[in-house]
Amino acid sequence: MKKSIQKTFLDALKLNLVVGMTFSSLFSKPIPVKAETINLGRLTANDVRLRSTPTTKEQNGVNNILLYLDEGDMVTLLSLDKTAGTGCNAGWYHVSFKNQEGYVCSQYVSLNAQDVYDRPWTSPKKAIIGGAKFIAKSYIAKGQFTSYLKKYNVNPNGYYHVYNHLYMSNLAAPSSEAKSSFNTYSSNGLLNLPLAFNIPIYQNMGDAYYRPGGNLVEIEKQGSVTDPVFEAELNRQGFPESYKQALRALHNKYPNWTFTAMHTGLDFWASVIAFKNVGAIQGGNQYYDMSGGAPHQAGNDKGWYIPNEATTAYYVDPRNFLTEKYILQFESLEYSSNYTESVVQGVLNNTFMGGLSILDNQPYANIFVEAGRTANVSAVYLASLARQESGVNGSTSTKGERFEYQGVVYSGLYNFYNIGASSGASSPVHAGLVYASGGLCTICSPDGVNTTPPGTDVTVPLPLSNYLLNAGYKIKGNYVTGFPVGENIANVKKKLANENISFSSSTIGTGTSISYNGQTYRIVVYGDVTGDGKINSADLLKLRQHLQGTTSLNGAMLEAGMLAKSGKVNSADLLKLRQHLLGTNKISQE
């Protein structure tokens, strides 16, 4: 970005954030700039705050934290000059992270910015190995160390809060990956290895949860005890009888296997509701949430729909997958030397990865083994994941082809695991490929150099936060507020003046996600703790149940219950909701 253009734009942005002025027409749409060298910085610590202004002080009682960044995250420096402010003696860098602009304390930024995941991924090998490093660092090392936990994060001892930081939205992804791995294990004689499984246990589980249209497989159960030592170990770990019946049958067939109970401490049905709201499924109306008479599309992924509660409960319940074909979703994903190149080849046969990566002049099976060894991840799992994400014939993310996303042309990029392909993006697969660029290039050559001719116009889109602020909405962390109760999508889109901004549902209610240009916020309508966009007796009941401890509000729903703005939900909030329903005191959406 040219210095004069950059300074004018950033001064206007800063002025808007500090004093609340509205953008002129110049700053409410993307700006064409000249292609130029990009300055990158690498974060050197965890939980570094990206702030809207260069200060740690609250403004009008609201903190200015936009995001929390982790060690190794790469930021684009919009200026090499440090900005004076408060709370950071070293000065502040004005940066961009995933199209979100803000400020970070310069003492946590290294200008020796080698990307920790080796982006840009300009060949299949770079994408496979770099992506494996991402999975290891961001998931496996953070407590999401099984395929199940990557999708359903319920590890109470994990780094991220339960129900958050989910790798994919597809409810069936863990079972699909497990089936692919099982076929490989079975054909290579690996099922008799001493495999170890970590199996989540929830509170208040019913006897059984069935999949609409039929379960994937019939669970073999054994009621009688044939191995007292094994039984004593199950009892010591607190496995319920409904788990033990299936585990006894598996133990008789595979005595080398060990099972570890992961007591989540979570209510099963509360977990189902949490995952339903962020889940997606394919297959037919019997699986979909048909409230309103029609299925609701999940994010911007065409053909994927929000699941109903019965379908979600089936896939969340670990007991439905305690069979040899599906239990591998509970296996630890760390590297094992047992998974040789010939074993991995079994996963890749009859796919586009069955032979040589021409660009790398190396067999795909060998690349996956190298990736597993480098990142300490199961090579079989990596191959199964790539097959799941890219399909047997490959996809846009595996071909390096030219594409346009948010006004910028890219090419030469690969992303075999679809990392960064958020379902809230206008084109998830393209958003993933932009992530694969690492901000280092648009037209990318194999050595990572940007081959866009110097002086070429490149359109830089504004972040979603700019549009929201310009329309008069308020941003609080990852939430956006200021929506009238009963507001409709059409009216909001008109205010935002950008048809590419997308919503996860047709209703403006708590929990609805709003996305653009790789950035997503969750809408909060204060008082709407059920997420239907209304405030009524159902919300009063839900809030009362939360206070009684019979259910739990989390995330955006918890924020929507903080009517007294005390930072927590208590009886004062319940009183305000009652007063709103009686018409004596209207709930503020500010």
Strands of 136-253, DSSP E: 196-203
Query: DSSP alpha helices (H): ranges in 2-52?
Result: 3-19
Does residue 24 register a pLDDT over 80? no
In three-state secondary structure terms, 203 is: strand
CB of 67 closer than 8 Å to CB of 97: yes
Kindly tell me the sign of the dihedral angle through the C-alpha atoms of 541, 543, 544, 546: positive
Kindly state the average pLDDT of the residues 399-424: 87
Residue 112 has a pLDDT of 67
Here the tokens at position 370 are: 């190298």
CB of 438 closer than 8 Å to CB of 74: yes
Q: Which pLDDT band, with edges at 50, 70 and 90, does 62 fall under?
A: confident
Q: Summarize pLDDT for 216-242 with one digit per residue, the tens.
A: 999 999 999 999 999 999 999 999 999
Task: Quote the CA–CA distance of 330 and 320 in Å, as a whole number.
Answer: 12
Domains with residue ranges and CATH for the chain: 3-114 (2.30.30.40), 119-145+336-455 (no CATH), 146-332 (no CATH), 465-582 (1.10.1330.10)
Here the tokens at position 205 are: 């589980």
Q: Which pLDDT band, with edges at 50, 70 and 90, does 14 fall under?
A: very low
Amino acid 560 reads A
Does residue 285 register a pLDDT over 50? yes
Q: Summarize pLDDT for 30-50 with one digit per residue, the tens.
A: 544 444 455 778 888 888 999
Does residue 18 register a pLDDT over 70? no
- pTM confidence score: 0.59
CB of 182 closer than 8 Å to CB of 380: no
Does residue 194 register a pLDDT over 50? yes
- Angle at Cα 582 formed by Cα 580 and Cα 588, nearest 5°? 15
Give me the percent of the chain exceeding a pLDDT of 70.
90
DSSP string, 312-366: HHHHH-GGGG-STTTGGGGB--S--TTS-HHHHHHHHTTSTTSSEETTTTEEHHH
Q: Which pLDDT band, with edges at 50, 70 and 90, does 507 fall under?
A: confident
Task: Quote the CA–CA distance of 325 and 215 in Å, as a whole number.
Answer: 13
Does residue 70 register a pLDDT over 70? yes
The closest alpha carbon to 37, from 6, 13, 83, 73, belongs to 6
- 170: number of CA atoms within 13 Å, CB side? 18
Task: Quote the CA–CA distance of 267 and 204 in Å, as a whole number.
Answer: 6
Give me the percent of the chain exceeding a pLDDT of 90.
52
Task: Quote the CA–CA distance of 466 and 516 in Å, as a whole number.
Answer: 11
Does residue 365 register a pLDDT over 70? yes
Residue 309 has a pLDDT of 96
CA 169 remoteness from chain centre: 8
Residue 453 has a pLDDT of 64
The closest alpha carbon to 556, from 514, 512, 515, belongs to 512
Does residue 100 register a pLDDT over 90? no
Kindly state the average pLDDT of the residues 507-533: 90
